[in-house]
Amino acid sequence: MKSDRIKNWPKEERPRERHLTEGVDRLTEAELLAIILRVGQGTFKEGVRGQNASDFARTLLKEFGGLAGLDRAHVQDLLKVPGLGPAKVAQIKAALRLGKIVCAGKSASVSFESSQAIADYFRPRFIGKRQEIVVGVFLNGQNKPVGEKEITEGTPTQVTVYTRRVIEEALRLSAAAVVLVHNHPSGNPEPSFGDDDTTRDLLKACRLVQLVLLDHVIVGESEHYSYSDSGRLNEFEKE
């Protein structure tokens, strides 16, 4: 029987070799994950008989709902998958974490001088998401980003924002100001009553610890809504 191991593929078809010759941007998520699965001590052990690393990578992505699902998955759940041992799970989690660190570094060099700039920066991250995702952006006294953190995920129509988590992260980063950003999977950025309540609660909490809530931006498919630009943030401050 002819082996389907990746090492027996033509060099121009192997993910690792294609990465070196064509560049990382040309590889699919499954091919990138396959490289991680094959890197490290020892060789990749097939999770399912007859699967190579690329096949196994596609199986993992399907089972856990893509890279975001792998990121959310608990280590113990990953260890239950035949073929994934502690070393491979650690490599996957480490690679995903490195990606987040790179993204956070990029945001620090981005100028968030307008709600449009904020929406444009975050919209690509929200594309294809079926649930609301809330991100806190933390800035210094010169309104330069010092970090960002995904606060929580919700359902397609609502999300619970735990104000304490936003404040804790702001204090950890010694931030002076906060911008809250989240998406509406429906594509319509108009705020809900729940969005209003979240904005009010966060505004009050920021006041207590001398933080400034600069804006709450809701990102839709092509448009966005800004509590600051609309004047509603000022209205809430007067309540």
At 171-194, the pLDDT tens digits run 988 999 999 999 999 999 999 999
- CATH number for the domain that contains residue 160: 3.40.140.10
Is the whole model's pTM more than 0.85, yes or no?
no
Are 67 and 163 part of one and the same domain? Answer: no
Are 227 and 152 part of one and the same domain? Answer: yes
Are 100 and 117 part of one and the same domain? Answer: no
Tell me how many domains the chain contains: 2
Are 34 and 52 part of one and the same domain? Answer: yes
Which residue, 104, 131, 157, sits at the end of a domain? Answer: 104
Are 98 and 117 part of one and the same domain? Answer: no
- CATH number for the domain that contains residue 83: 1.10.150
Backbone phi and psi for residue 227, each to the nearest 5 degrees, phi listed first: -65, -30
User: Would residue 1 count as lying in a domain?
Assistant: no
At 81-110, the pLDDT tens digits run 888 888 888 888 888 877 766 665 555 556
Residues of the chain whose pLDDT is less than 50? Answer: 1-4, 6, 8-16, 18-20, 24, 40-44, 46-47, 156
